[in-house]
Structures are given as C-alpha cells and as structure tokens.
Amino acid sequence: MRDLLALAAGLAAPCLAALALVPFRTGLSHTNAALVLVVVVVAVSSLGSRTAGAVGALSAAAWYDFFLTRPYGTFDITASADIETAVLLLAVGLIVSQLAARARRLEVFHVTDAEHLARIHRTAELAGSVLSVDTVVEHVCRELTGLLGLRACRFEYGTLLGRPPRLTEDGSVTVGRRSWDVDAVGWPDGEIELRACGNGRYLGRFMLTPAPGPAASHQARLVAVTLADQTGSALAQAGPVGQG
C-alpha cells in the first residue's frame, strides 16, 4: 500500500509543485524551478520504491515542460536552454530517485537485521538463565510467530510422526523429497515442521501454521532456524523431557 501511494504521489506531486510555481515563472529562473522539482522527486523516492522515484522524475520533466517553459500549456519547447534543463531535470531526477530509494531499503535492512539479532540475543539470554526448558520453548514459539507471521505455533517433544513440509537448516522448504519455492509461491498448505536438535540428536520440532499471505523472507527463515537450534541446545542441556 505504501508503494502504491508513493507511485500515485510520483504522478501527482510534481504536477502540483509545477502548478504552484506558475505565478512565479516569469521571475524564477528555470534552473531554480528544476531544483524545486528535484526536491519533490527525492521526497517521493524516500517514501516509495525505485519505480515511484522513476515515475516522479518523468512526471517532473513533463510538467516542467508543460507549465514552466514557453510556449506555456504545451509539451513543446522552443528554446535550446529549456530543452537542456528539461533533459538534465529528468536525468538528475532519475539518478537521485534511485539513490534515495536505495538508501531507504538499506535503512529497512538495517532495522530488520537489528530486530533479528535482538530475537536471537533474547533467546540466548533466556536459555542461559531459566531452569525450565518449557519457558524457552514457549518464548521461541512467540518469537517464531512474530518473526514468520504465523497464525499458530506449537512444539512437539519426542519422535517424528508423519512427513509434513519442513523448514530446513538453510532456510529452504521441502515437501516430501521435493524442494518448494517458498519465495515464489508462498508457504505450502498445512503445518510446517522446524526441527530442534541438540548435540547431534533430534529432540523435538516446532509445528508452524502460516497465516495467509506471502512467506517470510529467507533471512527471517534463517533466524527461525537459529532460534530452533537454540531451543535444541537448551533441551540437550536439560536432559530428557517427559512430555509428549
């Protein structure tokens, strides 16, 4: 939704900005007018995707031509200097929009990485400080629910039953012996198992029930595997658990 709104802003905001400059176009240099429109393109790009930024740059160049160059009210340009300014506006707008969109995505990745590290750190602290392994299991169930966007998560102690889809150690998903393209088609139907192992032994598994919608990112799935490994270590240190 945010990207769609940014795309709409990329179409409309440069037009409104150029229209607002119309009363001043006789006294305002074309260079300054173009700079104002570049600022608008940067604002759109910082809120949306690369596509929104590119649309904003194209819109800015078009409305600069329409409202701020002679003959006014047409998409014709007669002065060579105005043509150069329009071309530069388009080029600069495209470049700056891409840089702004990239900076926004890097910021999102940084925040996401910090959240993932916080989940791992919280689980490690809990596993080293509590006496009951059930507390660790319940905590990891909550973390997995938020991390993967699950509808439900439960833990099964003991032996493996059935062959449900499986979230593997490398963050991929398998259904039976087939690899499942979770990034392209989403989670498979039904519960998905995420095994918890400690000291090389299988000790239990989380049963994940995904919520409707796209699957979690590969990075998030790798963090989920790490949380399951931490649970397995806690189970191994606690010894046999008499639960079914």
Higher pLDDT, 140 or 170: 140
pLDDT band at 18 (very low <50, low <70, confident <90, very high): very high
pLDDT in tens, 212-243: 888 898 889 989 999 998 898 888 887 655 44
C-alpha 58: how far from chain center: 25
* Average pLDDT, integer, range 106-132: 74
pLDDT > 90 in the chain, percent: 31
Nearest to 118 by CA among 97, 145, 147: 147
Nearest to 14 by CA among 54, 57, 78, 46: 57
pLDDT band at 205 (very low <50, low <70, confident <90, very high): very high
Nearest to 143 by CA among 168, 116, 161: 116
**Could you tell me if 140 and 231 are in contact, meaning their C-beta atoms sit under 8 angstroms apart?**
yes
pLDDT band at 103 (very low <50, low <70, confident <90, very high): low
pLDDT in tens, 175-184: 988 999 998 8
pLDDT in tens, 77-95: 777 777 887 888 788 777 7
**Could you tell me if 226 and 212 are in contact, meaning their C-beta atoms sit under 8 angstroms apart?**
no
